[in-house]
Amino acid sequence: MAAGENRDRRLGTIPSGYSPVRRGPGGAVTVELAGDHPGVTDPVYRARRDHLAALAAAWQPGRPPPCPEYTGEEHDVWRTVSASLQELHERVACRAFLEGKDRLRLPVAGVPQLTEVSALLEPIAGFRYQPVAGLAPLRDFYGSFAQGVFWSTQYLRHPSVPLYTPEPDVIHEVIGHANQLAAPGYAALYRLVGAAVQRTEGEEALRFLSHVFWYTMEFGVVREGGELKAFGAGILSSVGETARFHEAQLRPPDLLAMGEGSYDITRYQPVLYVWSSAAEMEDTLARFLETYDDATPSALRRAG
Q: Of residues 37, 158, 172, 211, which has the active-site annotation? A: 172
Contact status, residue 76 vs residue 160, Cβ threshold 8 Å: no
Strands 128-131 and 149-152, sheet pairing: parallel
Is 37 designated active site? Answer: no
Strands 271-275 and 249-251, sheet pairing: parallel
The Cβ of residue 302 has, within 10 Å, a number of other Cβ atoms equal to 7
DSSP classification of residue 76: H
Q: Of residues 16, 19, 144, 237, which has the active-site annotation? A: 237
203-213 and 296-303 are packed helices; what angle lies between their axes, rounded to 10 degrees? 70
Is 218 designated active site? Answer: yes
| Phi, psi at 28, each rounded to 5° | -65, 135
C-alpha torsion 44→46→52→56, nearest 10: -170
Q: Quick one: which H or E segment has residue 213?
A: helix 203-213
Is 177 designated active site? Answer: yes
- CA 287/CA 274 separation, integer angstroms: 18
Q: Of residues 37, 89, 158, 177, which has the active-site annotation? A: 177
Ranges of beta strands (E only) in the chain are 21-23, 29-31, 128-131, 149-152, 221-224, 227-230, 249-251, 271-275
- CA 106/CA 109 separation, integer angstroms: 9
Q: Quick one: how far is CA 304 from the chain centroid?
A: 29
SS3 (DSSP) at 150: strand
Q: Of residues 74, 173, 218, 282, which has the active-site annotation? A: 218
Q: How many residues does the chain have?
A: 304
Hey, which residues are catalytic here?
172, 177, 218, 237
